[in-house]
Amino acid sequence: VDHDAQYLTARDADFRSYLQQLNESGYVRPWEPAIAGIGGEAGSSLLTWYVGVPGMAAIVRPLCESVQVFTKRPVHTIDRVAGGWKVLFQDESVAGPYSFVAIAVPAPQAQFLFGPLDDMAHAVSNVRMAPCWSLMLDLEQDTLPRFDVYSDMSQTIRWIGRDSSKPGRRGRG
């Protein structure tokens, strides 16, 4: 089951160019699912939907090829230093300095990472979050066989997508 975004579209010319490069190198493929429209009739998308291959993480993989990535090391805070940023880990080790640090966590968690950086912590404190609950199922058979995507059905269920219909995926239901 893909735990990331369902798909990407591109409205910006630079991002379209980036997705085209990824498509040419095999990191993404266009996804053309059978979409349920209003009233259960066939629908369509105005923009091309792209998915990472074999999973959505493939979309950023080329951007990380020359980047040092730490895993399984919880970050305590980040701090500005001469020459960039340092990362302070919960085990009291330090890494850096780095020219850039990417923060990819929800705003309430990011606020703690900024520690003494009051200007950044304050900016993040103004972000309002709206929850999105997800349920991921692996079914033995096609339960909704007519379409690959059902969306905007109600305020309760906004999206059902069959991951196995995406390029580069394997699966049953």
How far, in Å, are 2, 89, 133 from residue 165 at the CA level? 12, 40, 22
Which residue in 101, 8, 16 sits closest to 59, CA to CA? 8
Q: Enter the tokens of residue 141.
A: 């058979």
Q: Are 160 and 144 in contact (CB under 8 A)?
A: yes
**pTM, to two decimals:** 0.73
Q: What is the pLDDT along the chain (173 residues), one digit of tens a residue?
A: 777 788 999 999 999 999 999 999 999 999 999 988 766 678 788 899 999 999 998 998 888 888 777 778 899 999 999 989 999 999 999 999 999 888 888 888 898 898 878 888 888 888 988 877 888 888 777 676 788 898 876 777 788 888 888 998 876 55
Respond yes or no on whether the N-terminal peptide bond of residue 106 is cis (omega within 30° of 0): no
3-state secondary structure of 25: helix
Q: Percentage of residues in the chain with pLDDT exceeding 70?
A: 94
Question: What digits encode the pLDDT tens for the residues 38-88?
Answer: 666 787 888 999 999 999 989 988 888 887 777 788 999 999 999 899 999
